[in-house]
Amino acid sequence: MEAEYGIEISGSSEQFNQEAPEDTLNKRTQPMEVNSVRVIKKRRLSLLKDVGVTRSSQLDPRANLLYKKLTTWSVKMARMARKITSYKIRLQKAQLCNSEGFQKIMSQVNNYTHQFILSQIRNQERALKCRRYTLEDKILALSLYKASGKGYRLLSKIFALPHPRTLSKLLQKIPLQPGINEIIFKSLQENIRGMKKDDKICILMFDEMSIDVNVYYNRHNDIIVGIEDFGHKRSSKLADHVNLFMLRGLHRQWRQPVSFTFSSGPVTSENLKYQLTEVIKNCLEIGLDVVATVCDQGASNQAAINSLIKDTREHFLREGQENRLFGFLVNNQEIVPFYDVPHLLKGIRNNLLNKDLHFVMNNKKGIASWKHIVKFHNLDSSEPTLRLCSKLTDEHVVPEKIKKMKVSYCTQVFSYTVGSLMMRLSKWGNYE
């Protein structure tokens, strides 16, 4: 048998009783002056190996009891030695931090730098699994990690920073649920308290995207995640879409997600209308000035906005007043709806692919057709070495090859360079 701390057993009990010299026992039972854990490990010599026994069962009862007590006390002494070493290191660091020179340097840095330096002094020499971080250390590390994951991995090689899994566990402790989260609006209310009036002016952006179906049981919150959930109501349908609401400042550049929901398929206009009004109401209650909404031209988005505009129109009819608003009312606050420019550009392009645009410019009627752009591209690409619009390719112009989801391709077609060259060619009379 090999006992704890590497004590080996060999020999017989008779040898232990008769042949063991008294100075050997005295030598083993003398108190050791321990300066470090390394000294303890060097002095962990086998008792039974010296007396020639192989197992503790070969000892008589009194010798076996003495052996067990010795091994127990050796373990306690090793633990005490580790504690003493740890306390000595901590005392040295405390003396360093309390020195006059160190305090003078720390007085010249801000609080975040001060806490970071103390964290490095505390954790640099520790093993990876022995490092301990305060909540402030984790929050600072989380800010760095969210700014750039690649940069955070580089900094982790230089400084003692929490592992990304530690930061992920910290985020899991935040009680975020679909729908309206009071904790987000309370935190937002505290942050905007010192803002100027103009800095509180913001817009509400919302959009949805498809996600993979994934259902699991969250045992911490005793809830099934992955089904349709709007915060105020849930269903048993599997969720494959997520809808997100985000605030963005106009005068001062800041952004903050405030709500999210899960739906089975694209969200319906009724649910979207309810979510939109609830988010705006909560934003107005905490002191924000929401003036507009921005979204794409999805069918549900258009239907929800048109319904809100219709309700506003009916409200003014009941009050016997003239409706002079461009948008809709929420808590007597006018909210102007906008569709985002990238989707408007793609909508114009997609309409031109199938329809012609009739317009009047300088009292002259004209027709804009996608065929004109195709002819211009063919003319320009006929001489590859003398191209004027080298960025235009078949994926920009040819209807069968166009990548309709690429906004950059659409903006390059409607660029100033393309438009000015087409206008010049039309004035020359050689291009219609």
pLDDT in tens, the chain (432 residues): 333 333 333 344 444 344 443 443 343 333 334 444 444 334 444 666 766 777 777 777 887 788 788 878 888 888 898 888 888 877 877 777 777 777 777 777 788 888 888 888 888 888 888 888 999 999 999 999 988 989 999 999 999 999 999 998 888 888 788 988 888 899 899 988 888 999 999 999 999 999 999 888 888 778 888 899 998 888 889 999 999 999 999 998 899 999 999 999 899 999 999 999 999 999 999 999 999 999 988 889 999 999 999 999 999 999 888 888 889 999 889 999 999 888 888 888 888 888 988 888 888 888 888 888 888 888 888 887 888 888 888 888 888 888 888 888 888 888 888 888 888 887 776 444
The letter for the amino acid at 218 is N
Write the pLDDT tens digit of every residue in 211-267.
Answer: 999 888 888 778 888 899 998 888 889 999 999 999 999 998 899 999 999 999 899
Phi, psi of 201, rounded to the nearest 5 degrees: -70, 130
Domain map of the chain by residue range?
58-97, 104-172, 179-339, 342-429
CATH architecture classification, 179-339: 2-Layer Sandwich (3.30)
Q: What are the structure tokens assigned to 410, written together?
A: 């659409």
Q: Which residues contact 141 (CB under 8 A, 6 or more apart)?
A: 133, 152, 161, 162, 167
Phi, psi of 365, rounded to the nearest 5 degrees: -80, 140
Write the pLDDT tens digit of every residue in 328-337.
Answer: 999 889 999 9
Which pTM does this prediction carry? 0.64
Write the pLDDT tens digit of every residue in 325-381.
Answer: 889 999 889 999 999 888 888 888 888 888 988 888 888 888 888 888 888 888 888
Q: Which residues pair with 367 in a beta bridge?
A: 358
